[in-house]
Amino acid sequence: MTTAGCPANQGEDRVKVAYIGQKGLPATYGGVERHVEELAARVAARGHLACVYNRAHYDPSPPSSYRGIEVVTLPSIATKHLDAISHVASCTAHALMHGADVVHYHAIGPALLSWLPGLANVGTLVTVHGRDWQRPKWGGAATLALRAGEFVAMRAPDATVVVSRALAEELAQTYRRPTHFIPNGISLEEGDDPGILGELGLEPGRYVLFASRLVPEKGAHYLIEAWAGLDTDLTLVMAGDSSFSADYVQSLRVAGEREHVVFPGYVFGARLATLFREAALFVLPSDVEGLPIVLLEALGYGTPVLASDIPQNREVLGVMGRTFAAGDASDLRRQLALALDDLPALAEQAAEAATWIADVYDWDLVADQTLALYESVLAGGRARRRRRGAPPETAAGPRRANGAASSRAGRTPCYDCPRRQSSARRPERRRARPR
């Protein structure tokens, strides 16, 4: 287990950022892990020190560095309710003892301890990826703790980031406090691994894909129920597995035994990219989201999409794809039948989305905006120390966060601009096959 501290910060123009709240790297499943990996890699590439904390059970052979990121592995109490908070406590102490300039927490559960770095005059950010207390897997005590974490996330840190406009509006209505909107990005796998189709007995264009953790809030049970009454000879592929939800996964497997449903477990990299590219349709029936990376990926690969009509999904889709009434398996069945009868038109729409989605949801722009926020937080900390009469910063004090120039320097994201054509190479996609 890698427990050594991240290297000391010896550059006056570098900032040392500790990322806390994710399960670990390399990212395999989970939007938080993907977000942290893509952001931290770009922060490191710009010349800063990015330190990401892994949970010991996440990877039995964790790397000490990955994509330029320093990886520190610490133990946790690996139970459903104590895994995250026990790890966050040890990581926070470790980060403060090893000279972090900024501590960046991810998700509202970990944010419960985001008041601690401020006691040491260390810059603090929280990124809210969703209102996790709304997830049905949590009981009463856990829901109260997550609500408390959300309250702290909106009050304690120097800055609070949200990943969707819908989430920003909800939090503003609840807390009457400002947030910083910085969305998720998209990173597409260029390779293919068509062997997975043969392994699962699939044919290109002859299956419908779901890809996510198999937990209640992702709505997999709605899809299984809808599929049971659907008149189709296509196969349903449920790519995902348990996340402290073994009983739920088992119930899905039992329900899908006689309904042409395949459960391949978690699928990553080129294998998952192939499943996206060759699917007739991607379905995301979730009840709760922040800004779903998997939905961005489906659009990026040019895959037709059907999603629940929660605000976060509609924010991504705009006029692209189809939606159904969230939580309504009967409406999902109706919309599935309509979508499968209209695949050529949906495929044309999806191909258009693939031309602009990667430009709009760009990890380089996400990194630029986040680094600017780090600089603002550090500048605010310097001002507070001056007001308190503290001595000037030494070489070991907080650094500037501007660092090396970004490859996208000067670009301003336009998340509300009309959908546009891009000069980027469109992902290759086979023509959709009718049902």
Q: Could you read off the pLDDT of 330-346 as tens digits, one per residue? A: 999 999 999 999 999 99
Give the CA radius of gyration of the chain.
22
Q: Reply yes or no on whether the pLDDT at 390 is more than 60.
A: no
Give the mean model confidence (pLDDT) for residues 52-76: 92
pLDDT attached to residue 230: 92
pLDDT-derived band at 424, boundaries 50, 70, 90: very low
Does position 397 have pLDDT exceeding 70, yes or no?
Answer: no
Distance of alpha carbon 104 from alpha carbon 114, whole angstroms: 9
Mean pLDDT for the stretch of residues 51-78: 92
Give the 3-state secondary structure percentages of the chain, helix then strand then coil, rounded to 5. 40, 15, 45
Residues of the chain above pLDDT 70, percent? 84
Q: Which CATH superfamily is domain 195-359 in?
A: Glycogen Phosphorylase B; (3.40.50.2000)
The verdict on domain 16-185+362-387 having CATH code 3.40.50.2000 is: yes
Tell me: the pLDDT tens digits for 205-218? Answer: 999 999 998 999 99
pLDDT reading at 65 higher than 90:
yes
Which segment of 24-33, 177-186, 289-298 scores lowest on mean pLDDT? 24-33
Residue 408 pLDDT more than 60? no
For residue 321, pLDDT over 50 is answered with yes
**Range name among 180-194, 255-269, 420-434 with the lowest pLDDT average:** 420-434
Q: How confident is the model at residue 12 (pLDDT cuts 50, 70, 90)?
A: low
Q: Would you say 157 and 175 are in contact if contact means Cβ atoms under 8 Å apart?
A: no
Residue 411 banded pLDDT, cuts 50, 70, 90: very low
Chain mean position to CA 57: 20
The phi, psi pair for 51, rounded to 5°, reads -115, 120
Amino acid residing at 222: Y
What does the mean pLDDT of the chain come to?
86
Q: How confident is the model at residue 250 (pLDDT cuts 50, 70, 90)?
A: very high
Closest CA to 141 of 79, 81, 86: 81
Please determine, for residue 420, whether its predicted confidence score (pLDDT) is greater than 50. no
Of 215-224, 278-287, 332-341, 399-408, the least confident: 399-408
Report the pLDDT averaged over residues 271-278: 96
- Distance, CA of 380 to CA of 375 (rounded, Å): 9
**What pLDDT shows up at residue 8?**
67
Domain ranges in the chain are 16-185+362-387, 195-359
Report the helix count and the strand count for the chain, using DSSP H and E.
Answer: 15, 14
Question: Is the Cα dihedral 84, 115, 380, 51 positive or negative?
Answer: negative
In this chain, the answer to whether the domains covering 16-185+362-387 and 195-359 adopt an identical fold is yes
CA distance 232 to 249: 24
| pLDDT confidence of residue 392 | 47
Residue 429: pLDDT over 80: no
Which one is predicted more confidently, 81 or 240?
240
Say which residue, 403 or 145, is predicted with more confidence.
Answer: 145
CA atoms of 320 and 386, how far apart (whole Å): 51
142-151 tens-digit pLDDT: 889 999 999 9
Give the closest residue to 292 by CA, choosing from 244, 247, 326. 326
Q: What letter does residue 133 receive in the DSSP assignment?
A: G
First CA to last CA distance, the chain: 50
As a whole number, mean pLDDT of residues 259-263 equals 89
Q: In the predicted model, what is the mean pLDDT of residues 181-206?
A: 93
Q: Looking at per-residue confidence, does 393 or 354 come out higher? A: 354
User: How confident is the model over 392-418, as a mean pLDDT?
Assistant: 47
